[in-house]
Amino acid sequence: MPIVSIEDVIKIYEGKVTHRALDRLSFDVEEGEFLAVMGPSGSGKTTLLNLISGIDMPTSGKVLIKGTDPSALRPDDLARFRRRELGFVFQDFNLLRMLTVEENIVLPLTLDRLPVAEMDARVKAITARLGLEGILHKRPDEISGGQEQRVAIARALVHRPSIVLADEPTGNLDSNAAREVLDLLGTINRENRTTFIMVTHDPIAASYCDRVLFIKDGAYYNEIHKDDRRRTFFQRILNMLSLLGGNVDDLSSVRLP
């Protein structure tokens, strides 16, 4: 059974002007997959992540996460379901500036009222894994962007979610920090079999994934699967983006590092 199923989903925003942000979109994500979602600006990528995370509901069609329809859950159950099953990584890190690195990472566990010894053990394990031991008592303003994103990833993983949703996780990083973060996500994906769904505009970031799904005007456009070599996969992603058109950055300047 797929871990995420998007079944004929339509999302219409009602307002002064109604807007169909997703248009009969269907696809599955398999457990342990690392999926990138790409598409021009306004094609519905964030809307899709909001539906998967249960922040918003489809107008019609179904979103199933491990067979559960989040929109059918009561608010308390939905909150618990999101905390247990999902982790989130954002472009701007979303760390709490007043808290230390360690406090930011432990935060999701305090919401689940785990015993202190269990929380300590989990924070130790994840910070060792992500190489954050040396900065646990620093605050976000005292560390680099790449370190901030690693802290955000530790926070997303500390409660061992089955799915991590990442919205432009490398959008605010320089190319070296971006590569480190992508390598880290890839390692976690392989070793823990955590499923990743990553929205990105960046073909280099997408080339780290197993599959890239392209959407246009809220509808499925195409998808490509990784082959043996990242360089040729990257080139195929670029080709698809140029076919897709829309507001895609000047691709002629993009080169695989």
Ligand X SMILES: Nc1ncnc2c1ncn2[C@@H]1O[C@H](COP(=O)(O)OP(=O)(O)OP(=O)(O)O)[C@@H](O)[C@H]1O
Residue ranges that bind ligand X, judged by CB under 6 A: 13, 15, 19, 21, 39, 41-47
Toward ligand X, which CB reaches closer, 46 or 59?
A: 46
- Cβ-based nearer residue to ligand X, 45 or 82: 45
Give the shortest CB-119-to-ligand X separation in angstroms: 34
Question: Closest distance between ligand X and the C-beta of residue 152, in Å?
Answer: 19
- Residue 254, helix vs strand vs coil: coil
Yes or no: say if 189 and 34 are a contact pair by the CB < 8 Å rule.
Answer: yes
Secondary structure (3-state) at 85: helix
Choice between 140 and 169, CB closer to ligand X: 169
Least gap, CB of 245 to ligand X (angstroms): 14
> 44 or 203: whose CB is closer to ligand X?
44
CB atoms within 10 A of CB 60: 13
> Which secondary structure element, helix H or strand E, spans residue 26, and what is its range?
strand 19-29
Query: Which CB, 39 or 146, lies closer to ligand X?
Result: 39
In the complex, least distance from residue 229 CB atom to ligand X, rounded to whole angstroms: 28
**Residue 34, CA atoms < 13 Å, CB-side half-sphere:** 20
Assigned token pair, 15: 């307002």
51, 58 contact by CB (below 8 A): yes
Least separation in angstroms between residue 53's CB and ligand X is 13
E strand or H helix at 6: strand 4-13
